[in-house]
Amino acid sequence: MEIIFATSNRHKLSEAKGIIETEVLLITPADLGITESIPEDAPTLEENALFKARYLWEKTGRNVFADDTGLEVEALNGAPGVMSARYASEECDAGKNMQKLLKELKGISNRKARFRTVVALILNGETHLFEGIVKGTILEDLSGTGGFGYDPLFLPDGYTKTLAEISYEEKNLISHRGIAMRKLSEFLKSIK
Ligand code: IMP
């Protein structure tokens, strides 16, 4: 079975291929000549993922899945959440986003946070949602140079290293996106 993964991010694509490709052949919108960026301005991760998947389903009539991720900080009532990429500004600058987060959490002792990924799948016209969560805490200083986004500030529960200090393979095993993708993979296996 062929399925579209609504992404233009090479890293996400290779990560998803590693998890899913025994079940299906993944293609991207670019493989079909679709290069426009799809809006991601809905108020929730679920709606963003669904919008992207539906957009491509309506355009191509093919099976498709899309993901959206946010960092949800307890003391900030779930912010930056759906705004994670553009938290500090429209530039989507990870360094500025992390500085803003540290500023917002200054003096706050509750540093609990979680990354949450939602994957929306449209298969033969039917919609399915899968969620992946990794819980942790936000440190007071950056640590590590690996990963991307907020990784240098995020200490997963039970770990002594941030997501920016562990290997790519280890991160995929515990990460929100890895968990959501494996749920998708299991579902695709189960309907074969
Ligand atoms: P996206 O929906 O995967 O594009 O993620 C939105 C934003 O969430 C990214 O721009 C990052 O700021 C943040 N983010 C998503 N996944 C991760 C991760 O694995 N580590 C750190 N930050 C992430």
Q: State the pLDDT at residue 101.
A: 98
Q: State the pLDDT at residue 167.
A: 93
Q: Whose CA is closest to atom 17 on ligand 1?
A: 149
For the chain, the distance separating the N- and C-terminal CA atoms, rounded to the nearest angstrom, is 10
Distance (angstroms) between ligand 1 centre and the Cα of 192 equals 31
pLDDT 10s digits, 1-50: 899 999 998 888 988 988 887 779 999 999 999 999 999 999 999 999 99
| Portion of the chain with pLDDT greater than 70, in percent | 100
Distance (angstroms) between ligand 1 centre and the Cα of 149 equals 6
**Is residue 157 flagged as an active site residue?**
no
Q: Are 162 and 121 in contact (CB under 8 A)?
A: no
Q: Which domains does the chain have, with CATH numbers?
A: 2-190 (3.90.950.10)
Does ligand 1 lie within 6 Å of residue 72's CB atom?
no
Does ligand 1 lie within 6 Å of residue 175's CB atom?
yes
Q: Are 118 and 49 in contact (CB under 8 A)?
A: yes
Distance of alpha carbon 69 from alpha carbon 47, whole angstroms? 11
Average pLDDT, the chain: 95
pLDDT 10s digits, 61-75: 999 999 999 999 999
